Every structure is written in C-alpha cells, then in structure tokens.
C-alpha cells in the first residue's frame, strides 16, 4: 500500500495496516484456501497491485522480499495468537 490505511478483521479482531504494508498475500500463497480476513479501507488509499506471476517471480528471485514477507507473516501470527 503506497498511501492510506485499511482495517483487516480476523476472527473479530481489527488489525490496522498502513502505508508500506500489504494484504492479500495469503490468496497468492494458497490460492484455493478459504479467506481468513475481511479488509476494508479506513482512509483513501493508493495501492500497488501485484499479479500472481510477479509475486511468484519475487519469491523465486528476491531473498530479501521473502525474508520481509515471512517476518511480517510471523509477526501477524504471533499477534493473533497472543490476543494483541
């Protein structure tokens, strides 16, 4: 997300994601999985869409992207499990 903020609701808990953040990655990692959250804009936004092919190319060629993605996913999982 280039500008703005969204609220992701996961199991009734709101998670705020602002500029520089991302959402929708699980749909690219596990395409046929049931959606786990609901995203709604809380401000006007400017987004950078990433196609599946671009996402897969980044996973294959950019180790720093993969590390950053895994770090954020792990942080979100820990926060969800600890009721923060």
| pLDDT tens column, 14-70 | 889 999 999 999 999 998 888 888 999 999 999 999 999 999 999 999 999 999 999
Contacts 24+ apart (CB under 8 A), 50-54: 52/28
| DSSP 8-state symbol, 83 | T
> pLDDT value at position 77?
85
Contact 16, 54 (CB under 8 A): no
> pLDDT value at position 66?
97
């Amino acid at each position: 997300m280039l500008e703005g903020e969204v609220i992701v609701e996961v199991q009734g808990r709101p998670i705020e994601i602002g500029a520089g953040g991302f959402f929708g990655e699980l749909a690219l990692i596990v395409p046929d999985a049931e959606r786990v959250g609901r995203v709604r804009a809380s401000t006007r936004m400017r987004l950078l869409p990433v196609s599946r092919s671009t996402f897969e190319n980044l996973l294959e060629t950019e180790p720093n992207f993969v590390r950053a993605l895994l770090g954020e996913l792990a942080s979100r999982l820990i926060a969800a499990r600890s009721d923060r």
